[in-house]
Structure 1
Amino acid sequence: MVKWCTATNGSRHLVDEILHSILFLGKITIPSFSPEEIFGDVLDGLKNTYPEPFESCETHLPRRSPFSCVLDMVVLQNQPNNEDAIRSSLKNLVNSLEAKVLTSNSLEAKVLTSTVVCVSHSNTSGKHYGVSMSTTVPFARKIVIAASCLSSYWDEYVAGAVMSYDPDRMTRREYFDGTINFPQEATCKAYLVTDVTEYKPPCKSCQELFGLPDEETEEPRFPYGNCAEAESLSNLFKSDETIKQQCQPISPLHTPENRETARADTQMFLKDVLERARFNTWENHYYPA
């Protein structure tokens, strides 16, 4: 990412974000990893060039997973409608990291890379991408999903759909329903990052959240908000107001008051998980501020 940043205008913030996210994951891993253990000989250079992540890693939560920053960098390099180049670049990167794992026994790729990339688009906007949560560290997935909902990183409709479900019980809340129905005139398709030809049907959770087609898939049910569809649809909605308005939640339980209650419950859940992860220095801020 640092190397790509030097050749990609307007990408410095992506390096800041990925460094912060990696530092956070290192802190909640058991046993934890210090910045010195993570970055080794390049630590001083990174701290001098990108000081903000190191200053905020104990007080701010990341809004998204590390590989999401990589995705944005690759899209910025290749332009959004060049789907083949974007997916090929992601594939090559992940394959190279996995090759390093085989030779060094490092957990780097397994911890930091996503397995699925999703592409959404409509007739009135370009292509919009998302990746699955690259958070295999215990507690990390729950923390980052909640942070994506609460920090406004995800579009309000995507966040509302995810917050409709209790993340511990994996059941819909009785008092709130922000799920949506994705329109037929737009598309949302996911693929393996390491195989650009292998289509991944939406899992049962994504079907329930976003009204994506029920393809009688054998895909396992992933935690709500884990999949690449969430980020991809969020980016589509932020760009295409026409499609977003077609996806308004229609349940009578979708009221401002009920949504605030769901947000409060998500906030309580997040604080509980942070406590279990022994991350006790959060100051209710997200990175970047």
Structure 2
Amino acid sequence: MLNKLKDVFPRPFELFSSRLPRRGPFSCVLDMIVHLIGRENETQIIHGLRTLITDLELGESTDLVPSTICVSHKTEIESPVKYYGVSNSASHPRRIMYAASCLGGWDSHVAGAVMTYLPNKEKKPDFDGTIVLPSNVRCQAFSLFEENEKPPCRSCGNLFGLTTSETAESVYGNCAEVESLSNLFKNVDDVKEQARPTSEEYSDLKRAKVERLVRTDLRNWLLHKGFPWDQNFYPPQ
């Protein structure tokens, strides 16, 4: 099986020790489910992902399995195009994945908001890329282990202006809302324009500086872990 995979998909085996992914593996699984079911079929997509996770019979081995899915779309139009995202697993190397996603995976507005808090939960005093989601956009998360909706956490409130009574902060970049809104912004220009950062502590110059700091922190962390990163990313296909 290993040899067959190397023949069909040679690039991952050539680059796994020198390049970084821009997103977690279950994001690719989500893409497949959305493609097969159709992105308008929200209930079936959520059910399909729940069923897949259940059928895997992972038990306690849930290192790569997300706990949450989120759907985002405009609300004032009939039959809106819906965009999905999943959370990252608690066992992911967060410091690596979130930095890599900010540097090339997520939409620029979403990345700027997350970089406001990276690499910890403390807001930077001299940079504010947080945004406020327009009122005509729905952004709703659902548990993948229970049959219920999930309210935004305090982190999503801080990043995107989502209304929440929650006080607990998740790791910034972990929530399904991040990937879902990133996909929305990449495809719906008017929503992205309405959600642009407006803080006086935001500018292209400050953003470029923060990106350099994130890249440097990522490179140093990888060197500490013995990973010779060539500063390129591997796009899953």
* Interval of TM-score (by shorter of Structure 1 and Structure 2): over 0.9
For 1:134, the equivalent position in structure 2 comes to 89
Query: How many corresponding residue pairs?
Result: 233
Determine if the alignment matches structure 1 residue 207 to structure 2 residue 162.
Answer: no
For 1:185, the equivalent position in structure 2 comes to 136
**8 Å contact from structure 1 (residues 130, 232) kept in 2:** yes
For 1:284, the equivalent position in structure 2 comes to 231
Offset of residue 181 of structure 1? 0.4
For 1:167, the equivalent position in structure 2 comes to 119
SS at match of 1:179: coil
**8 Å contact from structure 1 (residues 167, 223) kept in 2:** no
Counterparts of 1:98-177 in structure 2, within 5 Å, are 99=57, 101-102=58-59, 107=61, 110-122=62-74, 123=76, 125-134=80-89, 136-137=91-92, 140-151=93-104, 153-168=105-120, 170-177=121-128
1:211-238 superposed Cα distances (whole Å, 9 cap, x missing partner) = 1112x126x3111111100000001111
Alignment-mate amino acid for residue 102 of structure 2: C
1:143-198 superposed Cα distances (whole Å, 9 cap, x missing partner) = 111101101x2111000000111323x11111110100011111000011133x31
Q: Counting helix residues as a fraction of each chain, which structure ranks higher?
A: 1
**8 Å contact from structure 1 (residues 165, 224) kept in 2:** yes
Runs of 4+ in 1 over 3 A off after TM superposition: none
**8 Å contact from structure 1 (residues 189, 201) kept in 2:** yes
1:264-284 superposed Cα distances (whole Å, 9 cap, x missing partner) = 1111221232133322x2100
Alignment-mate amino acid for residue 114 of structure 2: V
The counterpart of 2:166, out of the listed 190, 213, 217, is 217
Determine if the alignment matches structure 1 residue 59 to structure 2 residue 7.
Answer: no
1:25-48 superposed Cα distances (whole Å, 9 cap, x missing partner) = xxxxxxxxxxxxxxxxx2111111
Unpaired stretches in structure 1, ≥5 consecutive residues: 1-41
Alignment-mate amino acid for residue 97 of structure 2: V
Determine if the alignment matches structure 1 residue 243 to structure 2 residue 175.
Answer: no
**8 Å contact from structure 1 (residues 143, 270) kept in 2:** yes
The answer to which structure, 1 or 2, has the higher relative contact order (CA under 8 A, 6+ apart) is 2
Instruction: Provide the TM-score with structure 2 as the length reference.
Output: 0.93
d(CA) in 2 for partners of 1:142, 1:66:
16
Unpaired stretches in structure 2, ≥5 consecutive residues: none
Offset of residue 256 of structure 1? 0.7
